[in-house]
């Protein structure tokens, strides 16, 4: 089962605040993979940077899009494995992504998640699709598996963003 909620982000500061909120409620989704998708410039890396820097050990982390080396590992608690699959459109991810997914104590975050076949992912996933709008950005969050089981904690942490049902 899965649940979808939607909410607006007016600017880059709100995107950063969303990353900080996700870090603050990390226990609610830590056993899940965080999948990010959206157009170039939608704020995926900005969100990851704020999330990583808000976790213990991440204050000094140099968070950038790992487009050229595919994966960055951050010394946070828990450890973050940050993948960017933008350059892999035609080939999909290699085995290292799936090895990190199985690595205990590591949270996996994937930018350009559309390049991972859904059947290759575990059932516990938080997906954020970010798109540009006339007034900033819109986020469609899908909670699947354990994330859906913990939707109350996630929605409570995100209450300031006024999450609600997604338009059909």
Instruction: Dump pLDDT digits (tens) for 106-149.
Output: 999 999 999 888 888 889 999 999 999 998 999 999 999 989 99
Instruction: Dump pLDDT digits (tens) for 51-70.
Output: 999 999 998 888 877 566 68
24 within a domain of the structure (yes/no)? yes
112 within a domain of the structure (yes/no)? yes
108 within a domain of the structure (yes/no)? yes
State how many domains the chain has: 1
Is the CB of residue 34 less than 8 Å from the CB of residue 147?
no
Across 21-35, 62-76, 96-110, 111-125, least confident range: 62-76
Question: CATH no. for residue 98?
Answer: 3.40.50.300
Alpha-carbon separation of residue 133 from 9, 11, 15 (angstroms): 9, 11, 14
């Amino acid at each position: 089962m899965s649940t979808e909620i939607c909410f607006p982000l007016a600017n880059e500061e709100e995107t950063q605040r969303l990353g900080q909120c996700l870090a603050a409620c990390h226990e609610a989704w830590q056993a899940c993979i965080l999948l990010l998708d959206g157009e170039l410039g939608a704020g995926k890396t900005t969100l990851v940077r704020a999330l990583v820097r808000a976790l213990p050990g991440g204050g000094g982390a140099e968070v950038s899009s790992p487009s050229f080396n595919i994966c960055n590992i951050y010394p946070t608690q828990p450890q973050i494995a940050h993948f960017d699959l933008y350059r892999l459109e035609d080939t999909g991810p290699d085995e290292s992504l799936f090895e990190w997914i199985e690595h205990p104590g590591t949270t996996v975050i994937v930018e350009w998640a559309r390049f991972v076949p859904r059947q290759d992912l575990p059932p516990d996933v938080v997906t954020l699709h970010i798109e540009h709008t006339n007034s900033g950005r819109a986020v469609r969050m899908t909670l699947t598996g354990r994330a859906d089981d913990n939707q109350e904690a996630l929605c409570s942490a995100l209450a300031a963003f006024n999450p609600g049902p997604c338009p059909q």
